[in-house]
Amino acid sequence: MILDLFFPNRCIHCSRIIDAKLLVCSLCFEHIHFTHFDYFGENIIKEKCRLLFPVENTYALMKFEQDGLSRKVIHELKYKSRENAGRTIAEWTSERLIFSDQKPDLLAPVPLHPKKQRERGYNQLHLFTETLSRFYDIPFDHELVQRNHYSKAQALKDKEHRLGTVNPFSLSKPVSGKHVLLIDDVFTTGNTASSIAWEILNAGDNKVSILVMAADL
């Protein structure tokens, strides 16, 4: 309480003082560009994924814009030690994403390499995933997918190009007969989703859907 008096939480966009649990004030919230995607319908993510792997359903909460508020939100989560932002983004998602009676069987976040997670102090997707798990009553597994290499994204891409078939991801355990909802923060090219999806699809009679906080459209 004393810290709140001297260091009040402020809106990440306009700097107004807001409740400690919030990221943006009510006025700035209106400037977040939500996608309004239909999880079961057609959207640009599904179109891109279909070119790379068999996908069931896809959903992005926000549009990822270079100068937009969604970028600031995710930047706070990933780089400003605002792990609790994951819970807030999950709450926004739960207000907009409806599974009806066709819920996936398992939630699986994209992993960080253990070294990267130690450096950051947390995986930015874990609290987001756990909050959605409780809301939708769907189990999650933070350990299902593991990242095999620690390197910068571009360096990893170059390494994969040189070695041809190296996949930076693998599964830590058998999984079969499951519809896995793969969770990530930002969807860009779809290469990360594809690398993990093929590991899941090749492991058994599985299906894969995609959920991201934001999509670079």
Same domain, 18 and 60: no
Distance CA 194, CA 204 (A): 16
Cross-strand partners of 100: none
CATH code for position 153? 3.40.50
Strand ranges (E), the chain: 58-63, 106-109, 145-147, 169-171, 179-187, 207-215
Same domain, 153 and 56: yes
**Furthest-apart CA atoms within the chain: distance in Å:** 56
Residues 157-209 pLDDT 10s: 554 444 455 789 999 999 999 999 999 999 999 999 999 999 999 999 999 99
Same domain, 98 and 109: yes
Query: Exposure of 26 by Cβ count < 10 A (0-12 exposed, 13-18 middle, 19+ buried)?
Result: exposed
Q: How confident is the model at residue 15 (pLDDT cuts 50, 70, 90)?
A: very high
Same domain, 8 and 90: no
| Residues in CB range of 165: below 8 A, 6 or more apart | none
Same domain, 102 and 209: yes
Same domain, 53 and 43: yes
Same domain, 187 and 88: yes
Range of 98's domain?
33-215
Same domain, 148 and 111: yes
User: Encoding tokens for residue 118?
Assistant: 């130690």
Residues 67-122 pLDDT 10s: 899 999 999 999 999 999 999 999 999 999 999 889 999 999 999 999 999 999 99
Q: Find the radius of gyration of the CA atoms of the chain.
A: 18
Query: Exposure of 155 by Cβ count < 10 A (0-12 exposed, 13-18 middle, 19+ buried)?
Result: exposed
Same domain, 42 and 20: no
Same domain, 79 and 167: yes
Same domain, 147 and 118: yes
Same domain, 20 and 44: no
Residues 18-55 pLDDT 10s: 999 899 999 999 999 999 999 999 999 999 999 999 99
Instruction: State the pLDDT at residue 154.
Output: 44
State the total domains in the chain. 2
Dihedral-angle region of residue 109 (phi above 0 means left; psi in -120 to 50 means alpha; beta otherwise)? beta
Instruction: State the pLDDT at residue 32.
Output: 97
